[in-house]
A and B are shown apart, each in its own frame.
Chain A
């Protein structure tokens, strides 16, 4: 089945540093790709998404490009803030034999940004 592998954490950065969180996937067909963010004590929120190859998703200064040739969807931000401290999950859509579409999540990467 489809799967997602994202870089192990935790990641600790200073404010204004550049962020990259790597995500690669294995999939048949053409899944949609997502980044979700989980702030402490909260549920997951959609951060950005891309539905086809070469699409770039962006939101709140974060970006990720759907790269079919490298099966990757790396998350980047040019200048992180303390408020970006959270756990980030890469996910892809996976359709089962019944046609129902579900999300497959990576294990999450915890980011801590220090002032």
Chain B
């Protein structure tokens, strides 16, 4: 199993550009999550999904969108990038809702 994979690993965006962060898991997990990690601030939940076709907002959803058309994939979309979205983004998945498996992260810089 590859576990949770994320692409790209690094990205630099200009203000106002858009991009999609990809997340795929091969563990047949029903739950998937997107977090952002800012220095010294821990992890904040952006969006989560309890299964294909079902998504819900987390703590910091503004400026982001998600979709979940399959069990495996949970992309995160940034429509109009802003400097405040400079962060490290982690995707995670779980089966029993509690024990989450994390991807390696995407480091995004918006300038």
Contact = CB atoms under 8 A, between A and B. Distances in A.
Interface residues on B, range: 20 to 34
A68 interface: no
Contact of A46 (B48, B56, B100): B100
Given A105-B43, A107-B40, A45 B98 contact: no
Given A44-B90, A107-B40, A108-B42, A98 B56 contact: yes
Residue among A32, A43, A103 with the most chain B CB within 10 A?
A: A43
A93 interface: yes
A7 B33 CA distance: 26
Contact of A102 (B41, B45, B99, B103): B45
A94 B92 CA distance: 16
A49 interface: yes
B48 A107 contact: no
Interface residues of A, number: 21
A69 interface: no
Interface in B1-33: 4, 33
Given A93-B98, A100-B56, A107-B40, A43 B45 contact: no
B30 to A, nearest CB: 11
Interface in A79-115: 89, 93, 98, 100-103, 105-108
A103 to B, nearest CB: 6
A89 B92 CA distance: 15
B63 interface: no
Residue from B97, B99, B101 with most neighbouring chain A CB atoms (10 Å): B97
B84 to A, nearest CB: 18
Nearest to B9: A41
B52 interface: no
Nearest to A94: B45
Interface of B: 4, 33, 40-43, 45, 48, 50, 56, 58, 90, 92, 97-105
